Amino acid sequence: MRFARRKLDVTPPYVSMADIAFNLVLFFLILAKTQDDSNRLDWVPAKAAGGQAIKNPLISVTVDRDNRVYLNGQQIGLRDLTEKVAALLGDKPPTERSVVLKIHHETLAATFEPIMEAVSQAGGEVVHVIEEERPS
pLDDT in tens, 33-53: 665 555 555 656 556 565 556
Q: How confident is the model at residue 23 (pLDDT cuts 50, 70, 90)?
A: very high
Cα angle 55-58-64, degrees, rounded to a multiple of 5 = 100
- Domains for the chain: give ranges and CATH numbers: 46-132 (3.30.420)
Instruction: Please provide the average confidence, as pLDDT, over all residues in the chain.
Output: 77
Condensed to tens digits (0 to 9), the pLDDT of residues 40-89 reads 556 565 565 655 566 667 788 888 888 888 888 888 888 888 888 888 88
**Gyration radius (Cα) of the chain, Å:** 29
pTM to 2 decimals? 0.56
- What's the burial of 58, exposed, middle or buried (CB within 10 Å: 0-12/13-18/19+)? middle
Q: How confident is the model at residue 106 (pLDDT cuts 50, 70, 90)?
A: confident
